[in-house]
Amino acid sequence: MANNFMEQARNAMNRLTNMRNGGQNVSEQEKQAARNAIQSAYTSASPEEQEQLQQLEQQLQRNNELS
């Protein structure tokens, strides 16, 4: 069974990326939603998924989305 929280984290990150690439401003609410989705996914993530979540967090940080 797929980790629904993991899917939500990926979707949140994709939304931020699409907004940024489309020239839209990313709201603080969107940033917080991505942070929350990633943190929620950790609760039931496998070791492999935890590694993917770390990569999502790093991507957010690189893009100044976590501040």
Domain residue spans of the chain: 4-62
Packed helices 4-21 and 47-62: angle between N→C axes, nearest 10 degrees: 20
Q: Output the furthest CA–CA distance in the chain (Å, rounded).
A: 36
Confidence of residue 64 (pLDDT cuts 50, 70, 90): low
Average pLDDT over residues 55-67: 77
1 DSSP assignment:
-
How confident is the prediction for the chain on average, in pLDDT?
Answer: 87
What gap in Å lies between CA 25 and CA 38, rounded to an integer?
Answer: 21
Q: For the full predicted model, state whether its pTM sits above 0.75.
A: yes
pLDDT per residue as tens digits for the range 15-36 = 998 988 888 888 889 888 999 9
Using CA atoms in the order 26, 60, 44, 8, what is the torsion angle rounded to 10 degrees?
A: 30
